Amino acid sequence: MTRTAATAAGGYLLLATPVIAWTSDGRSHATVWPADALILALLLNSPRRLWSVILVAGWLGNLAANGITRGWIVGIVLYGAINMAQTLLAGALLDRTLRGRNLLEDTGTSTRFLLVAGYLAPALGATLGSAVSLVNYGQPFAGSFLLWFSSNALGLLIGTPLLQAVLDGSYVRWFHAKPRSDRWEAVLLLLAHTAVVGLVFRQSLLPLEFLPLASLLLLAFRLGRLGTMAGICIIAVVGAAAGYLQLGPLMLMRHGPVVDAFYFQLYLGVILCVTLPVAATVASRAEALAQLAEHRKALQQILKHSPDGILSFDASGLCKWADGRLMDCTGIGPREFVGLTVEQVAEHTSPELQYIIENAAKQSNVPHRVEFRAVHAPERTIEALCNIVPNDDHRSGVVVTLRDISAHKTREDTIARAAEIDDLTGLLNRRGLRNYTSGAFSDPSRHLTLALIDVDRFKSINDTFGHSVGDRVLAGIATRLNENVRSSDAVGRLGGDEFAVFFNCDIVAARIICERMMASLKRSPVFNEDGIRIFASLSCGIAERKPGMTREELYDAADTALYEVKRQGRDGILSAA
């Protein structure tokens, strides 16, 4: 708090005293007034609990500066109060709308800053200050108003952003954040700008006031808002010094110091209005580009450790950006995709990729997903997710995310197969048989014969030897069945001692295979341990699919034939009529 107060009082005194002495006759207002900018910068950089301390310290600095330069009269007390009032108004309005934001952050903030510091606050101060000058020194109100307004507006506009940046360390951080080459560039550009301004204002022969604007715009584009504010201050200081020494192109008008001072203020005002929006726009775009670069680096780091690859297409369907693990997904590196059209990318990956991108353009409000096997990596299963990049009422591009889901698909297939397998025998269960017949029945031209099989008198095996032996018997029978069918056939357990076999052949060939299975069971026991030898026999009913026959009808036909075998004494095969 003490240092802030000392900065406000001492800084105000140091800024105001020479300005009054050089640009005023002791009775009129100064032509440039940067001291209030110091107070406004301190207000904007400080919490509101310190504002009263800053304003009182600033008023004391104002009183001291006016007392030293104008003489100690009662009326000068009011000058400080008026200056602090206009500064407080500017601070309150700016703090309310731009708290935590740079005054020249973008065009919007710059416009608000120009309105408050360039018009509203100076207008209040000029009205009250000109009234005091009229009473104290008999100065005409209109001329005094114009001089106060212009000098205070210029002082606030020029000095506030610069002093705020100096006080909060922005200039130091800005300079140290630059690489060494950029630091040298900044120094050389500011020196060159100073040289241009010096050459323009040291001569009084040619109207070259436009030249500093050119170098100032160069500062705006190369150094941003901080460099621009430094450049404007260089013009203000050099121009004011030249005016004091009766030098510079402004002397060509030869209308007296008051007109010269006003013209110089107008000149600085034009420079401010031209360069501040430019600097704000350049700075906001530079910051946006810097943030974009940071986001891209972050995205690259994420993609580096992510299983995803990304393809980004513009509105015309051209791949503008590619990154991530595209080599793992497609067998092609990211750089090879850049510059390719959607059609060309599809040729290197899969036609399905082109399909979902075109479909996404028609239904842009939902993501589109497809799985495919890449042309150059057919052993991998790739998932592609396509999203439209919206831009108001039209799309600005498409982003496709690719991921290798081969391991996931393998796990899914393993789980799916496990769900279709009987735990005891390793054959297909009811679900597996149902899925098999769904595919088989989809082809009406395919030969299909069903054999339903029961183990004869299996209950007596369980009752005599126990269920554990019975389970071993069922597993042995399942092995014999599997050994005697072809790879194109499907063997399954319906439950208990009931089995089903689907043959991809006619009923005659199926019957021959069933006879071979039954003969195999009679040749050797299905269980032979601990002196226990168990032979098994089967009852089998077979039926061939007829045109137009449903799955249920095929089962019913085979079941009817099986029932007839059991009725005739078991251990046999019967074909359905």
Q: pLDDT: is 450 or 303 the higher one?
A: 450
Q: Is 542 helix (H, G, I), strand (E, B) or coil?
A: strand
Confidence check: pLDDT of 109 > 80: no
Average pLDDT estimate for 13-32: 72
97 or 125, higher pLDDT = 125
Which range is most confident: 254-258, 282-286, 350-354, 452-456? 452-456
Considering just the CA atoms, what is the radius of gyration of the chain in Å? Answer: 46
pLDDT at 241: 77
Share of the chain above pLDDT 90, in %: 19
Across the range 412-438, mean pLDDT stands at 84
What share of residues in the chain are helix, strand, coil (percent, to 5)? 65, 15, 20
Q: Are 205 and 247 in contact (CB under 8 A)?
A: no
Within 50-120, residue ranges assigned H as helices are: 51-70, 76-98, 107-115
- Mean pLDDT lowest among 173-187, 196-210, 267-281, 372-386: 267-281
Positions annotated as catalytic residues are 497
Among residues 571, 422, 416, the alpha carbon closest in space to that of 500 is found at 422
What Å distances lie between residue 426 and 73, 439, 477, 493, CA to CA? 111, 21, 11, 9
User: What angle in degrees, to the nearest 10, is found between the helix axes of 211-244 and 180-201?
Assistant: 60
CA–CA gap between residue 131 and residue 225 (Å, rounded): 36
Question: DSSP label at 445?
Answer: T
Nearest to 238 by CA among 273, 280, 271: 271
What is the pLDDT at residue 242? 80
Residue whose entry in the numeric block shows the structure tokens 């399954």 = 492
Q: State pTM to two decimals.
A: 0.50
Rounded distance, CA 231 to CA 226, Å? 9
Beta strand residue intervals within 360-518, DSSP E: 368-374, 377-391, 394-404, 449-455, 490-495, 498-503
DSSP 488: T
- The overall average pLDDT reported for the chain is 83
At residue 73, does pLDDT exceed 80? no
| Mean pLDDT of all residues in 490-511 | 92
Contacts of 556-563 with C-beta under 8 Å, sequence gap 24+, read 557/450, 558/450, 558/451, 558/452, 559/452, 561/452, 562/452, 562/453, 562/454
Mean pLDDT of 510-519: 92
**142-160 average pLDDT score:** 79
C-alpha distances in Å from residue 35, one per residue of 160, 258, 280: 9, 21, 24
Average pLDDT in the 85-90 region? 89
Q: Which two tokens stand for residue 423?
A: 């735990």
**What is the model's pLDDT at position 301?**
66
For residue 310, name the pLDDT band (cuts at 50, 70, 90): confident
Question: What pLDDT is attached to residue 266?
Answer: 74
What pLDDT, on the 0 to 100 scale, is given for residue 331? 83
For residue 106, the model assigns a pLDDT of: 64
Closest CA to 480 of 488, 494, 491: 491
User: How confident is the model over 214-240, as a mean pLDDT?
Assistant: 84
243: enclosing H helix or E strand: helix 211-244
Segment 175-202 mean pLDDT: 89
Identify whether the C-beta of residue 249 lies closer than 8 Å to the C-beta of residue 206. Answer: yes
**Predicted local confidence at residue 361, as pLDDT:** 65
More confident residue, 321 or 391: 321
Query: pLDDT at position 556, please?
Result: 94
pLDDT value at residue 31:
67
- Of 113-117, 404-408, 463-467, 528-532, the least confident: 404-408
What integer pLDDT is reported at residue 393 of this predicted model?
Answer: 59
What is the DSSP code (8-state) at residue 364?
T
| CA proximity to 115, closest of 135, 138, 136, 89 | 89
Model confidence at 98: pLDDT above 90: no
Question: Residue 154 pLDDT more than 60?
Answer: yes
Q: Are 514 and 542 in contact (CB under 8 A)?
A: yes
Distance CA(154)–CA(148), nearest Å, equals 10
Are 525 and 532 a contacting pair, CB within 8 Å? no
